[in-house]
Amino acid sequence: MLAKPPQLKMPGKTPIRGVGSWARSRSFWILNYFTGCCFIEAVPWVGSGYDMERFGLLVADTPRHADVLMIGGYVTFKTLKRIIRIYQQMPKPKYIIALGNCPMTGGTYWDSYNTVKCLDDYIPVDIWIAGCPPRPEPIGLAVVEAVNAVQSGYLGKTWRTKRRIEEKTNKY
């Protein structure tokens, strides 16, 4: 039996800062980068049960067309290098959503020598979705929060950690 779709409300009273912000908030193109089991809970969003297209979300094929990079699962330093390359290819403004406990803390792999413990130390994560794995409902709530923020003019976090990344990833 299908789970009941979440009753998510699109922002009504959030201030709109310009037509550009409004249009951007209603047309997120998402590039997915899933390395772990979190992928399973994101899939229902694409289908008719949760129907992400009603929020203006589309899956992007290339980084150059994407507004949002969704990273799900554990990230190793070897993988981090590829994620950074993808992030650099995305046009501004760009946003990152991290899915699951693994990108936050290392999750199940917290004591591994080559797993990133906090992804935000290396690239700017705008939204965290907790859980192992998170259910589809919090993914929807995160999307609504993102729509709210972008509609009011949020342009994403600034990236300030380039030197640290080079130090960490040069050996891989």
The Cα 62–Cα 101 span in angstroms is 26
Contact between 132 and ligand SF4 (CB under 6 A)?
A: yes
Contact between 106 and ligand SF4 (CB under 6 A)?
A: no
Q: Is the peptide bond before 133 cis (omega within 30 degrees of 0)?
A: yes
- Contact pick of 74, 87, 95, 122 for ligand SF4 (by CB under 6 A): 74
**CA-only gyration radius of the chain, Å:** 16
- Contact pick of 14, 76, 105, 108 for ligand SF4 (by CB under 6 A): 108
Which CB, 106 or 140, lies closer to ligand SF4? Answer: 106
Can you name the residues that pair with 76 across neighbouring β-strands? 115
Q: List the interface residues with ligand SF4, window 84-103 (CB under 6 A).
A: 100-102
Collect all residues with Cβ–Cβ distance below 8 Å to 25 and sequence separation of at least 6. Answer: 56, 146, 147, 148, 150, 151
Which CB, 83 or 149, lies closer to ligand SF4? Answer: 83
- Contact pick of 25, 31, 52, 73 for ligand SF4 (by CB under 6 A): 73
CB contact at 8 A, 32 and 123: no
The Cα 79–Cα 35 span in angstroms is 9
Q: Tell me the site size for ligand SF4, rule CB under 6 A.
A: 12
Q: List the interface residues with ligand SF4, window 23-42 (CB under 6 A).
A: 36-38
Give me the residues that bind ligand SF4 (CB under 6 A), please: 36-38, 73-74, 100-102, 107-108, 132-133
